[in-house]
Amino acid sequence: MVSELNGRRLHVADLATGSILVLLGAAMFVASIAMPTYADRGTVLTAPAIFPGFIAIILFALGALLTARTLRQPAPLPTGEGVAWRPLLTGLALMTIAIVLVGRINFQLLIAGFCVAFAAIFVSWRGARAEIVRKAGAMAIVVLVVAVLIPMTFQHVFLIRLP
């Protein structure tokens, strides 16, 4: 299983997250101030900026707390397994490409291509010939399900136009 970050990496990630939240809170607050107050409609207490401004202050404070806490504590020693970056990033890249291409090429073709690429990378094709044939057969069924059966169900049963 792709594990969580730990040790020094989590420490650095917490520091980065804390800083990003401080910046996000500050940016959100500035953007809130720039919003119209609609004072001419009777009161400024219903201005659209009130809620985002309130959340911005809390996010800023929570980010500052996380940053200060991380800076105060030493980085802990790594525990357990690290993150299996290779399968995670490969899977992420495949999914991102597929999503970016949605609407640009035929959906069924796209999803069939995703299946083939996914199988080529993540399914182990080593072993006895019979085993490989069995896996290829299973993958063919998966392609049939995701590229034909599921889209056709959405298209003809739920009357959804495919992207």
Partner 1 sequence: MIDAFLALASATTLFNVLWATLAGIVIGALPGLTATMGLALMTSLTYAMAGQQAILVLICLYIGSIYGGSRSAILLNIPGTPANAATALDGHPMAQAGMGHRALGLATVASLTGGLIGGVALALIAPLLAELALGFGSTEYFLLGIVGIVVAGRMTAADDPLKGWIAGFLGLAIATVGQETMHAYPRFSYGSLNLAAGIALIPAMVGAFGISELLMSLGSGKARMVDAPMQATPLLSNFRDMIRRKITVIRSSLIGIAIGVIPGVGEDVAAWISYGAARRASKTPDEFTKGSDDGLIAAETANSAALPSAVIPALTLAVPGSAPAAVLLAAMFIHNVRPGPMIMIENPDFVAAVCWMVIFGTIAMAVMGLALSRPLLLVLKVPREFLTPVIFCLCLLGPYALTQRIFDIYVVLAFGLLGLAMRLMRYPMAPLILGIILGGMVDQNLRRMLQLIDRDPMQVFTRPIALVLVAVCLVAIFAGVRRRPRNLQVKSQQARNQ
Give residues 58-77 in contact with partner 1 (rule: CB under 8 A).
58-59, 62-63, 65-66, 69
Judged by CB under 8 A, does residue 157 bind partner 1? Answer: yes
At closest approach, how far in Å is the CB of 95 from partner 1? 7
DSSP annotation string for 104-119: TB-HHHHHHHHHHHHH
Q: Are 47 and 36 in contact (CB under 8 A)?
A: yes
| Residue 95 Ramachandran class (φ > 0 left, ψ -120 to 50 alpha, else beta) | alpha
Binding mask 82-101 for partner 1 (x = CB under 8 A): -xx-xxx-xxx--xx-xx--
> Using the rule CB under 8 A, which residue among 54, 78, 134, 136 binds partner 1?
54
- If one asks whether residue 146 binds partner 1 (CB under 8 A), the answer comes out as yes
Per the CB < 8 A criterion, the answer to whether 155 and 162 are in contact is yes
Residues 113-142 that bind partner 1 (CB under 8 A): 114-115, 118-119, 122-123, 138-139, 142
Rounded Cα gap, residues 60 and 24, in angstroms? 7
- Supply the DSSP symbol for 146: I
- State which of residues 7, 8, 19, 21 lies at the interface with partner 1 (CB under 8 A): 21
Q: What are phi and psi of 67, to 5 degrees?
A: -65, -50
- Residue 109 contacts partner 1 per CB under 8 A: no
Among 72, 126, 129, 161, binds partner 1 (CB under 8 A): 161
Comparing CB distances to partner 1, the nearer of 58 and 71 is 58
102: β partners: 105
